[in-house]
């Protein structure tokens, strides 16, 4: 088989071509058909196969995650029960709106019970969070060092949550020496913070107000 055999091919008389030439031509035709088949048929099919494999892997991962959750479902339910119990116990330490006056009285009585004199007891403006409200109370009391300490201890033992913040203590007798402060009269200024839980109407109103504020803010943007 020579190169001239390919230069002088007469396709009208392809049947009379030499066998080696026929073999080469058939091989070329086969390769062309194979390339076209791969491009038009096999390539899209392979891409679909790869996509299906990736989807299968994704679904398999989701299945394993769901299976793990199903296996631990009993444990999750028990955790939810414990969380609800803990949340309920904490919520009971927060008074509702109707109980706030009684709590303020308890704080005041805790000071009077220790012999302290209130120069200031002023509830401030409430600030609302997601499900509770915080009320600051400005207080100013006078008494001995030990009575002030006992008052702080009594506050921490109240059935409701009350914290003392921003505490500032000075000598009540300006003429007394600093060494006599522990036995003399002291003045304590502080912010007592107490909390109450919001009722259903208040929570709904707050959510509506927050939603309206977000809409208004978005409109400005």
- How far apart are alpha carbons 162 and 79 in whole angstroms? 28
Residue closest to 187 by CA, chosen among 141, 129, 149, 156: 141
pLDDT of residue 178: 46
pLDDT of residue 24: 67
Tens place of pLDDT for every residue, the chain, 221 residues? 554 555 555 555 555 556 666 676 677 777 777 777 666 666 676 677 778 888 888 888 888 888 777 777 777 777 777 776 666 666 666 667 767 788 888 999 999 999 999 999 999 998 887 778 888 999 999 999 999 999 999 998 888 888 899 999 998 765 544 444 445 789 999 999 988 877 777 777 777 877 777 777 765 65
- How far apart are alpha carbons 150 and 155 in whole angstroms? 9
- How far apart are alpha carbons 26 and 20 in whole angstroms? 10
pLDDT of residue 179: 43
pLDDT of residue 176: 47
The angle subtended at Cα 214 by Cα 209 and Cα 220, nearest 5°, is 125
- What letter would DSSP give residue 18? -
- How far apart are alpha carbons 166 and 117 in whole angstroms? 19
- What letter would DSSP give residue 142? E
């Amino acid at each position: 088989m020579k190169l001239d055999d390919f230069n002088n091919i007469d396709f009208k008389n392809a049947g009379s071509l030499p066998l080696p030439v026929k073999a080469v031509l058939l091989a070329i035709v086969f390769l062309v058909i194979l390339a076209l088949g791969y491009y038009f048929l096999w390539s899209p099919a392979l891409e679909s196969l790869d996509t299906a494999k990736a989807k299968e892997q994704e679904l398999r991962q989701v299945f394993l995650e769901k299976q793990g959750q199903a296996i631990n479902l009993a444990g999750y339910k028990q955790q939810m029960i414990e969380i609800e119990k803990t949340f309920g116990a904490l919520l009971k330490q927060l008074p509702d709106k109707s109980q706030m006056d009684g709590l303020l009285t308890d704080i005041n009585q805790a000071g009077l019970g220790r012999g302290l004199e209130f120069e200031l007891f002023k509830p401030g403006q409430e600030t609302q969070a997601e499900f509770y409200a915080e009320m600051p109370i400005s207080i100013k009391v006078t008494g001995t060092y030990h009575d002030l300490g006992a008052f702080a201890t009594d506050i921490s033992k109240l059935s409701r949550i009350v914290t003392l913040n921003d505490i500032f203590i000075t000598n009540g007798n300006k003429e007394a020496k600093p060494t006599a402060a522990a036995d003399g009269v002291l003045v304590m200024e502080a912010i007592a913070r107490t909390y109450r839980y919001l009722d259903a109407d208040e929570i709904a109103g707050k959510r509506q107000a927050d939603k309206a504020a977000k809409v208004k803010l978005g409109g400005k943007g």
